[in-house]
């Protein structure tokens, strides 16, 4: 596995890894992340679509590897597009903090419409009050621009390579640094991986996760190949 993207250090998106694979099954992959900390901005810990029902020793050990390497670990909590009660979201965030010492939270299935902005603003204020350093909104699409004022990181694309090639990035994103935006692209043909990373950089995604894996859960293991500088870009990356 190599992460040399053929880009300058300034332009290269950093990895934000949805680590939806069990460390008792794939300890080598968690160790790989710890050994390559310089490339990893953040790891999202997902025990059981959330923190699960009890603290697990294998996850505690894996989080320890990452934290000792200086990697920020945050917990995964679903918001069901503002349909979940805020108290339930806060309870799961608290369990992640208590059991695994995470530094923040990835709120998933975050609404993109401004009508739900109040729910997420109030929720974020309460999460930060617990000591969380990082709040990440995973919309999977570009939301109303006001969401960028609330979260530290916005997930503004999650989908397949063909869909990513068709993506149009709204102009309001140019008001923010690339570090505000995260793109997840799965089902990428191995020969297109270099072009996918370059396209993410051109679209000012300061963080990305690009994988050849697909299926129902493309995040149940690290990519077998993330980038190969010897692979030729075919020029089929598509529009900005």
For residue range 75-125, list pLDDT tens digits in order.
999 999 999 999 999 999 999 999 999 999 999 999 999 999 999 999 999
Q: Between β-strands 181-186 and 40-45, what pairing exists: parallel, antiparallel or unpaired?
A: unpaired
pLDDT reading at 5 higher than 70:
no
- The whole-number average pLDDT for the span 192-197 is 96
Confidence grade of residue 225 (pLDDT, cut at 50, 70, 90):
low
What is the average pLDDT score of the chain? Answer: 91
Whose structure tokens read 């190949």? 225
Residue 1 neighbours by CB under 8 Å, 6+ apart: 32, 222, 223, 224, 225, 226
Partner residues linked to 155 by β-bridges:
138, 182
Q: What percent of the chain has pLDDT over 90?
A: 88
Q: What's the average model confidence in pLDDT over 188-205? A: 96
226 pLDDT band, cuts 50/70/90, is: very low
Q: What are phi and psi of 8, to 5 degrees?
A: -65, 155
Show Cβ contacts of residue 239 under 8 Å, excluding neighbours closer than 6 positions.
Answer: 165, 166, 167, 168
What is the four-CA torsion angle of 103, 179, 154, 192, rounded to 10 degrees? -110
């Amino acid at each position: 596995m190599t992460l040399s993207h053929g880009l300058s250090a300034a332009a290269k998106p950093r990895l934000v890894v949805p680590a939806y694979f069990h460390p008792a099954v794939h300890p080598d992959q968690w160790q790989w992340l710890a050994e390559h900390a310089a490339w990893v901005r953040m790891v999202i810990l997902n025990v059981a679509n959330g923190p699960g029902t009890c603290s697990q020793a294998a996850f505690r050990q894996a989080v320890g590897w990452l934290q000792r390497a200086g990697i920020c670990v945050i917990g995964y909590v679903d918001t069901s597009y503002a349909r979940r009660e805020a108290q339930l979201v806060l309870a799961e965030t608290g369990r992640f903090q208590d059991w695994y010492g995470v530094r923040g939270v990835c709120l998933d299935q975050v609404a993109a419409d401004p009508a739900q902005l109040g729910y997420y603003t109030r929720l974020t204020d309460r999460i930060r009050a617990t000591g969380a350093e990082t709040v990440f909104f995973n919309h999977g699409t570009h939301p109303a621009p006001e969401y960028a004022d609330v979260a530290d990181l916005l997930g503004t694309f999650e989908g397949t390579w063909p869909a990513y090639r068709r993506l149009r990035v709204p102009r309001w994103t140019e008001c923010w640094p690339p570090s505000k935006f995260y793109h997840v692209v799965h089902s990428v043909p191995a020969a297109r991986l270099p072009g996918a990373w370059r396209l993410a950089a051109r679209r000012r995604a300061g963080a990305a996760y690009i994988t050849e894996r697909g299926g129902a859960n493309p995040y149940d293991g690290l990519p077998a190949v993330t980038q190969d500088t010897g692979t030729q870009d075919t020029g089929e990356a598509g529009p900005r």
